Structure formats: structure tokens, C-alpha cells
Structure 1
């Protein structure tokens, strides 16, 4: 004889089946199996470049000015925390493949993020062995952040007063003091140079594919006599009649800089910036 369950027993059995189903679903979710779709966390876009832009607007006051020490420190801290992804970069793009980067990007490329009267923000892409020749930053305060790769940096400041022992035939040479001559690998601290100190004249040589984020205040301008000048450096002893010192500076820390014309091969290619945009808001 078949015994039919009572209404109460039916409800209890249904509740048990529901609990077993929920427990089974939880186990499937934990194991990563089953057909249930789990909700994925979507990472919000980085606003680091926007915060850097707004900070630059408040820090840079225009030609003839240098940011206050507290403002320099603020920008340095922001740049120290910048990551490649903050400007839309990924290490899996062809540029960072050391076997093909020199073929795909034979020239140094520059992507301009923003430029106004008081400052500019740009990114430089250097394939292996590429060199940004020795150049100056007249009247500028410059922040350089190596985002990816390894490079060699060499920088000078002019020696003052301007004196030399060279012959009139070599009067286009000017004595300078070597400040930096070292390799750097990302991630590393932001470097800062000032209008007359900190290594205002510098050169970059890429060891691996490199990306550098630069902030310049104010930007280059032919109108305001802030046009770029390129140089070639020579050992100090080469033109100093064997002098071992200059105004107390050791010969190994000195050099002669000769103004040169930039060759066609050294000129940069301008490319589109494809990272997060900046707004005035």
C-alpha cells in the first residue's frame, strides 16, 4: 500500500531539497566549475595622469618662474607612483619585444599628452641603443620618470664663471661639470633638473626598449628664446693644455660641450597619445 506524505512532510522535504541545491551551487562556485556565471570585478580606469595634469596646472606659473620646493616635492611624489598602465601602456605590445622593437620602431617616438603656455607633458619611446643627444632645457624645470626599461643617463651643468684655456679656434667649446653618468632601470625615482642646476643638459641612451614620461615647465618655445640646443661632449683634458683642475673641480668631473646641429637620423617621430585623456575640469 502506497502511503501519501502529509502536507507538512511535503514542505519539509521541499525545504531539504532547496538546501541541498544551494549547498551544491556553493561548492561549484568555489571550485570554479559548473555553468553559473560569477560576477567579475571591473577595475576602474586610472586617474593618475589627470591628477598629475591638475597638479601641473597649479605648480607651473609660466616663463621665468621655478616651482616652490613644496610643489616640486608634490609633483615628484605623483610621478614616483606613476605606472605604465596609468598612461595606457602594456608590456605585451610589439615595441617591447626586444627581437623586433628595433625593426618596428627604428626612430625615437614622442607622444604629446598635453601642452600649454606654462607646461607640457609627453612620453618618449626609445628602441634599444637609441640615443636622445645631449641637449639643454633653457629656463625650464624638468621632471623625467622612467616608466619602463633600462637606460644610461649622462648630465651636465655649465661651469661658472665661463672661462677656458682653449685657443680662439675652439671658442665654440664651453666647460661643464658632469653630474650624472649612470644606468637606471624602472621602477626608479623621478629625476629633476632646474634651469641652471641638477643636470640641465642631459642625454639618454636606451639599453633596452624604454619609455620616459617628461613634464617640462615651461615648454620649449622659439618665441621666448627657449629653443632646444644640442651638444657633443669632449674630455676636459683634450682642450685644457693638460690641466688637471678647473676652479677646484677635478678633471674627471669636467667636460667641454660643443654645440652641434641635429642630424636627420636623430630627429623624433611624433605619434598619437593613446592613454587616458586629461581635461580642464
Structure 2
């Protein structure tokens, strides 16, 4: 804790997240007004993080273009910071059964979000569903999804919120320079509890497919679950900001 009994903003955020996600199964992320208000205040300076230029890179010793600063983790939530070099991408991935809150600290990111709809139908049904024929043998890894859109966020933007049902899949791109964002996931990733990260590739538009329960302006896509892309990996570096006690 900081000296002088002054509670840091990051400590306030962690304490409020602990309250908000005490029972994550009953949490509605949009109702966490106090947590969202604190998240809107957080800046790179609060975490002792300075905007940076792209580091020099050697072809013989490549370095990741995305790194992660771990701040804290409990069974209910995790907090950390992602740092992206200019042009870096966190590929399309999911957060199964998890809520998420993302707040840009510096730079600008583009976030493209999807919702899973359902898996590919059986082959007998597929004749009228425009299923890509070459993917029928991989139907366990093929999903229909609704494209929710692409939104640009900067440090002046409010947080990006995701839920287990809404905008749970997204791709994040650094735009016009390096960027960093503060990240809360509730509960954290835990492969032993069914919360592992999966990656996806967008295959094609589904012509003529409109769900009755979705706005007609939404576009549907086929998503193929893939291994983690070979050209993406996330490095780690120490978090330099105020300590958090929970």
C-alpha cells in the first residue's frame, strides 16, 4: 500500500472488482457502475507505465510484439496490462464463461467483436445452410457467429465490456503506433475448469442467413477454431505500479 495511508487507484479498482465479482455467476457487468467509474479514471501514470516507442528488433532473436504485465489474480478475477507494439495484433480469441473489461491506457486499438451462434449443423441439414464443403469434416471446430462490429478505443474512450454471451470473441489491433490497455477478466482463465483460450479464423460470409432473434443488419460469419497462430505469442514483463493487496 502507498505511504501516507493514501489508497492507490489500482488498489481501489482491485477492491471494487473483488466486491463486484464475489459471485461471478450472478454478476451483470453492465451493472457494476462503481467499478466502471473507477476504470474510467485509470491512466498509464497511475500504473507507472510510460508510453513507449517500438523497440529495436533483431532477426536472429525475435521478440513478441505483445507483452503482459500481471498485477493480481484471485479465484474470482484477474487484472493486468497488455502492451502492443505498433501494428501488433492479438488474434481472434474467446473468453469462455468469462466477463471482461478493457480500458486503453495509451495509443489506440481497434476491436472487432463476434458472438458465437451455434456449431455447424449436421451434413443433412447443411445443404440449405451454405456450409463450406471442405470444412464439413471439421464440423466440431466450425461455428456460426454474428459480427457485432469494429470499434476504435483510445485513452479518452470508456471501457470495452464483454460477457459470456455478448462480444465474447474479439480481435485487438494496435492502430497508428504502440498501445496499452488495462484488462480485467472474471473469472480468470482456468483450463481445468473449462476456461481455456481458443483461437479462430474467419472463413466467409453466410449468404442469406438471418436469425429471427437478431437484427437484420448483423452479418454472419463462419469461424474455424484453430491452434494458436505460429506468428503470435505473448511475452511477459514486470508490473512497475503500486502493489495490490487482497
Which structure is higher in strand share?
A: 2
Once residues 179 and 87 of structure 2 are traced to their aligned partners in structure 1, the CA distance between those partners, rounded to angstroms, is 10
Name the CA distance, whole Å, in 2 between partners of 1:84 and 1:189. Answer: 15
**SS of residue paired to 1:245:** coil
Distance change in 2, residues 1:107/1:45 (3 Å):
farther
Q: 1:170 to 1:212 in 2, by over 3 A?
A: same
After superposition, what is the alpha-carbon deviation per residue over 1:24-50, rounded to whole angstroms, capped at 9, x for unaligned?
xxxxxxxxxxxxxxxxxxx99771100
Distance in 1, matches of 2:11 and 2:23, equals 20
TM-score using structure 1 length = 0.73
- Higher relative CO (Cα under 8 Å, sequence separation at least 6) belongs to 2
Residues 81-111 of structure 1, C-alpha deviations (whole Å, 9 max, x = no match) = 11111111123xxxx22xx436396421001
Show the counterpart of 2:155.
186
Q: What CA deviation, in whole Å up to 9, does each residue of 1:187-226 have, x standing for no partner? A: 21001111111x1000101112010100011000011010
Which structure has greater helix proportion?
1
In the alignment of these two chains, the number of paired residues is 225
Q: 1:158/1:48 Cα in 2 relative to 1: closer, same or farther (>3 Å)?
A: same
Distance 2:28 2:93 in 1: 25
1:64-143 alignment to 2 at 5 Å? 65-68=25-28, 71-91=31-51, 96-97=52-53, 100-101=54-55, 103=57, 106-143=64-101
User: 1:154 and 2:112 equivalent?
Assistant: yes
* Cα 1:71/1:51, change in 2 over 3 Å: farther
Rg bigger for which structure?
1
1:235 positional shift: 2.4
Q: Unaligned 5+ residue runs, structure 2?
A: none
Q: Check 1:228–1:132 CA distance in 2 against 1; reply closer, same or farther (3 A cut).
A: same
